[in-house]
Structure 1
Amino acid sequence: MLEKLVDYIYLLHKWNATYNLTALKNPGDMLTHHVLDSLSVVPFLVKSRNILDVGSGGGLPGLVLAIVYPEKHVSMVDIVQKKTAFLNQARIELGLDNVTVHTGRVEKLQVEKKFDAIISRAFSSLPDFVGLSGHLLDRNGRFYAMKGLIPSDEISNLPSGWKVERIDVLNVPSLDAQRHLIVIGPESVIIDNCG
């Protein structure tokens, strides 16, 4: 697992020179700001079996989750073809048989089996994240949005039918920045049978 994470950083650094996958150029910064940041959500997805990473870019957190959880299926979607070309190449070179890569807009993505966890890292606002990918979430699934500061305005503008279930602080070693995981689920429907 550690070897694959190191190999992933090597691939990201190598491809970044041509494909501009991340603003970070130093592999040490990629380790801290990308890989360790992505690893911080691992404990929250223990029970998930079928995960979608929306706006995966260079594979964060999708490829990291696929490496750590080889028994889970991880799908990634990005609109930028050069980024999904990298994701496919990384999938092959790292031997990740549990990964599927989609090129295109998440709102147009159709799948046979819906996801029990849909995650994003710097994809969009919470309302857009939920609105664009809600059709892909299983009935008992949850959204996981990786954010810096708590986005109170975005939370208050969630589409109807959705609510923030909890906000967890993410602790990222060697990263001096606030990181939070916003967990979003469906609002409970209360049926009044009294009249």
Structure 2
Amino acid sequence: MSAHPLAVALERGLRSIKLELPAEAQAQLLRYLDEMSRWNSAYNLTAIRAPGDMVIRHLLDSLVLLPVLQALAGFPQLRLLDVGAGAGLPGIPLAIAAPQLAVTVLDSNGKKARFMRHVQRTLALANVEVAEARVEAHAPAAPYELIVSRAFASLADFFTASRSLLAAGGVWVAMKGKLDAAELAAVPAAVDIRETRRLRVPGLDEERHAVVAHLKP
């Protein structure tokens, strides 16, 4: 690793979540944060600005999802859609950590889409595609085997809005904070919640969960 000021914090966090990444991937993750910090002053991409907090709340809070995805059949040779990606979270960190994963990061906000395109070019992320559109208007050439979101909307709205984009046999993975019983109960009848998994983000004293679901046969 280079002498990046956040390198030690990232390495420590990756060890805590038992995730081994090559030095090149770690360098790309830190460069991604550098680009986000530069753009933040003009574009206000994220309210998280302290460098240490960005490692925790942007990188590690995205990468804790990777073991959940790795347990799915066919990973990493799958197509993944990140709905409401914002500045590229969790899609871009996942694409860096798993370069065989084909990731589309989708957001309707023009400045955030411009930033994600900048990152895709600057970091030469050949496995990342940026889509600037509302999820309801997104029209890919083929549906996705994986659709993820991070604080995008309620579970019911997430499943309903992206249902037409999910491939047959595909899986949704929604990142949530504290699980809400009423929100879970409002999930459409056609959706089967396969698992709710507690995620532990080092340095973050807040609840995190992954809700894994698919369409009922």
Superposition TM-score, scaled by structure 2 size: 0.85
**43, 47, 63: which is aligned to 1:23?**
47
Once residues 175 and 166 of structure 2 are traced to their aligned partners in structure 1, the CA distance between those partners, rounded to angstroms, is 17
Unaligned runs of 5+ in 1: 189-195
Give the corresponding residue for 2:209: 180
CA deviations over 1:13-41 (Å, ceiling 9, x no partner): 11111111111111211111111000100
CA deviations over 1:85-134 (Å, ceiling 9, x no partner): 00000001111010111111101111112111100001000011011011
Give the corresponding residue for 1:192: none
Give the corresponding residue for 2:60: 36
Q: In structure 2, the residue corresponding to 1:5 is in which secondary structure?
A: helix
CA deviations over 1:39-62 (Å, ceiling 9, x no partner): 100111122510000000011001
Letter in structure 2 aligned against 1:171? R
Query: For residues 1-195 of structure 1, what are the structure 2 equivalents within 5 Å?
Result: 1-46=25-70, 47-48=75-76, 49-188=78-217
Letter in structure 2 aligned against 1:45? L
Cα RMSD, aligned residues only: 0.9
Superposition TM-score, scaled by structure 1 size: 0.94
Ranges of 4+ aligned residues in structure 1 off by more than 2 Å: none
Unaligned runs of 5+ in 2: 1-24
Deviation at 1:151, TM superposition (A): 2.3
Once residues 104 and 111 of structure 1 are traced to their aligned partners in structure 2, the CA distance between those partners, rounded to angstroms, is 11
Letter in structure 1 aligned against 2:26? L
Q: In structure 2, the residue corresponding to 1:176 is in which secondary structure?
A: coil
Q: In structure 2, the residue corresponding to 1:52 is in which secondary structure?
A: strand
Deviation at 1:171, TM superposition (A): 1.1
